[in-house]
A and B are shown apart, each in its own frame.
Chain A
Amino acid sequence: MRRFLFAAAAPVGALAVTLVITSIALILFGSNPLEAYGDMLSHASKLETQVDILNRATPYYLSAVAAAIGFRMNLFNIGVEGQYLFALLIAAQVGSLVALPQVFHILLIMTVAMAVGAAYAGIAGVLKVTRGVNEVISTIMLNSIAISGLIALLQQRWQAEQENFTSTTLGTNPIDESGLMPNINGLLEIFTRDIGQGKELTGVLLVAVLVGVAYHLLLTRMRFGFDLRASGLNPFAARAGGVPPKQMIVAAMCLSGAVAGLIGMVELADTGKFSPNPIKGLGFGGIAVALLGRNHPGGMVLSALLFAFLDVSSGILQNTEAATKEIVNIMQGIVLLVAVVAYGVTKRIQTREEARATAEALRSSEPAEVLA
């Protein structure tokens, strides 16, 4: 119980501080914060909005797991953004070239996306272990290379191959219906009324749930996950314990990139192709979600929902004009910064408490025992 309170205090406190700061910002520019928060909450109580939130939380969660796999062993994969966009492009193109039965078609697309993400992230891992290149810098550079170079190149090339080229066919060729992940409206409607406004709950949500469970099992039940955490906590001890550090780095980067490859599947199920302006920022957002959720499979669910809620709320703020819609991005940024500071503080308090508890336990026991 005490541990849980410790874990919950920091994010709840961070949220409170964020509300105070954003309220001040809103009042300064002449908006009524209560009205804005009220609009956001009443909007979010609608079923259709909740579908939007889940659709947004899904890629955020996948992106967060991708980042968290690296963070768990002190590897900073800042390149999730480039990895998922690149994977999305290649998977969309491959998917448009084949016609297969539905299950195989979807699996093929997902496998390609994961493989491309893994390979692209793997470059940074290999550069780190063979050449000592810091993965933060290399993944940032690989982001730029993917976004402004490779994607532009491949998109241009495949564009040129299209017949009857018009502005609506921009992007890769559309994938056959069989390659698109079906929506799972039916599953949600068991518990609720029918979903209106033509909203579709993405089937990738189930994939995200599976990934979350797999991530949890990996960390708690599997040798690889243990090695991963050990390397993160103390690389020297892990090495002495027989964990090969170099292989672990490459493997963790590849695994992180493979999960990153799945992020784009949500968009692919929706648009059926690589559109010229894919949703950007999910990679960096995912890093924020992972940090806010402390790399914990459950914590990241909550923080992904929070970030998705804020994203979706920007629409309603624009409609009701209760506040400038950009305030939601500010809230995301502030809650992240305050939360990482709060985690730092609680960690210190916890260490101090533990030290005190140990000291007391030692004092109360027999001196001879302590010496022995």
Chain B
Amino acid sequence: MKWLQDQPAWIRWPIYALLGILLLTIVQSISDTERLTATPTSREMLRWAVPIFLAGLGGLFSERAGVVNIGLEGMLILGMWFGAWGSIEYGPWIGLAIGMAGGALGGFLHAIATVTFGVDHIISGVAINILAPAITRYLSDELWDSPTTSPSTESVGDWDVPVLAGGSLFGWESPDVLLTIANWEWWFLSDVAALTRGLLRGTHWVAIIAILLVPATSWLLWRTRFGLRLRISGENPSAGAAQGINIIRYKYVAVIISGALAGLGGAFISTELSGLFQGGNSAGRGFIGLAALIFGNWRPGGVLLGALLFGYVFGLDLKDLDGTASHALLLVNTIVLIGVAAWAITRKRKADAILATILGALAFIWWVAAEAVPNWWSNILPYVLVLLVLVFFAQRLRMPAALGQPFRKGDS
């Protein structure tokens, strides 16, 4: 473990991913399901993860600048509507941009309330979450004669990676190497190929942009002057102001970027996933993005990991009509919880160890007792997962030091 922790990120993360797949493969080999490592599962995982990640990344910008953003859900909903409208009126790419603008508008409102007028961040966020769906219902009703549904929208489309996943390259139909490997049905290797193929075939352009935002954000926030100043606004605004930094402006920019990213996530839901705007389609992904942000300890890579984890559970549920895959997931839960218990023992955290063991035992008993789990359980599993993650790791997380605190010009 020590060796692994010393490796650079580009070695560490693929190894973690392979270990995760290994766990899934082992569990799958003693279960009645093949969906844990199937191509559609990872495909759905990515489709769910993208809006969650974009909302979470939006939260990262805002919270790194010290502004709690619970209004992400509302901004995502604004993005859903404006993205659909833009796509219908001006075509798909401009639609995405308009969706971002819609979300940014929500961010701007949040910034006015919290930064300029010093309104409590959570109260302002709640207000935006109430206002945003009302705006979309009104506009939909006026423009499309239905408060909840739009005509169908145009999508920017997706892409099959050539050679690995059989995409075409300058008109040449390349081989589908990962499909070939997946069809060999070799233990573990084929599972890895099948899951990877789900990420590389039919990959939405927006998903590719979203993944690229991880290094882009890391660079912007930790390698540029702009990023340093943005983070000072969230860590110690008075010190920043004393150095002559315009804290108010940085907070505004951060919250507006935050809204734009959540808006992009919303536009992705309406134009790329559903093909139309539909009220309630956000399914709380703005809130889950917030959970991914906390899970990811306010770091871009962590947010992506959280989004993929929650996306995996949602995606698995979608293709799991008979409940066998969710049943196998119980065993995965058991093993992970035992791992958490072991980790807690090495850290001398007795309460955590006991709690993890009890929960792990419950999951195991359920796994033994039932053949399949009912669908209500898979519906709530992602939310339960969020709670469990917070229960075990909330105290280890480090949020920006001045998060949620009001700042006024002259406070220094």
Contact = CB atoms under 8 A, between A and B. Distances in A.
A151 to B, nearest CB: 9
B162 interface: no
Contacts of B135: 330, 333
Contacts of A142: 383, 387
Contacts of A337: 109, 113, 124, 127-128, 131
A149 B119 CA distance: 34
A141 B386 contact: yes
Interface residues of A, number: 45
A148 B375 CA distance: 10
Interface string B93-117: 0000000000000000100110001
Nearest to B390: A133
Interface of A: 25, 29, 76, 78, 127, 131-134, 136-138, 140-142, 144-145, 148-150, 152-153, 156, 284-285, 287-288, 291, 324-327, 329-330, 332-334, 336-337, 340-341, 343-345, 348
A334 B135 CA distance: 10
A343 B287 CA distance: 26
B142 interface: yes
B127 A333 contact: yes
A332 B113 contact: no
The 7 tightest CB contacts between A and B, nearest first, are: A333-B131, A149-B380, A329-B134, A326-B138, A153-B376, A344-B117, A326-B137
B128 A324 contact: no
B328 to A, nearest CB: 19
A288 B291 contact: no
B138 A330 contact: yes
6 contacts: A134-B394, A153-B376, A329-B133, A332-B130, A337-B127, A337-B131
- Looking at chain A's contact residues, the main secondary structure is helix
A140 B284 CA distance: 9
Contact of A140 (B120, B287, B376): B287
B390 A336 contact: no
Nearest to A28: B142
Contact of A131 (B118, B374, B380, B394): B394
B276 interface: no
Contacts of B128: 337
B387 A141 contact: yes
A145 B134 contact: no
B395 interface: yes
Given A137-B291, A141-B291, A149-B377, A132 B141 contact: no
A287 B374 CA distance: 33
A149 B376 contact: yes
A341 B117 contact: yes
Contacts, number: 132
B122 interface: yes
The residue in A134, A327, A333, A348 that gathers the most chain B C-beta atoms within 10 A of its C-beta is A333
Contacts of A133: 387, 390-391, 394
Nearest to B135: A330
B126 interface: yes
Nearest to A124: B387
Interface string B380-393: 10011011001110
A53 B152 CA distance: 38
A337 B138 CA distance: 17
B294 A327 contact: no
A143 B239 CA distance: 39
A76 B390 CA distance: 17
Given A326-B134, A334-B131, 8 more contacts: A131-B392, A140-B287, A145-B384, A149-B383, A150-B380, A332-B130, A333-B130, A336-B131
A324 B138 contact: yes
B287 A344 contact: no
A131 B395 contact: yes
B330 to A, nearest CB: 15
Contacts of B274: none
Contacts of B147: 326
B374 A336 contact: no
A148 B287 CA distance: 15
B165 interface: no
Contacts of B118: 344, 348
The residue in B124, B134, B147, B374 that gathers the most chain A C-beta atoms within 10 A of its C-beta is B134
Contacts of A134: 294, 390, 394
Nearest to B290: A137
B113 A76 contact: no
B379 A148 contact: yes
A182 B137 CA distance: 36
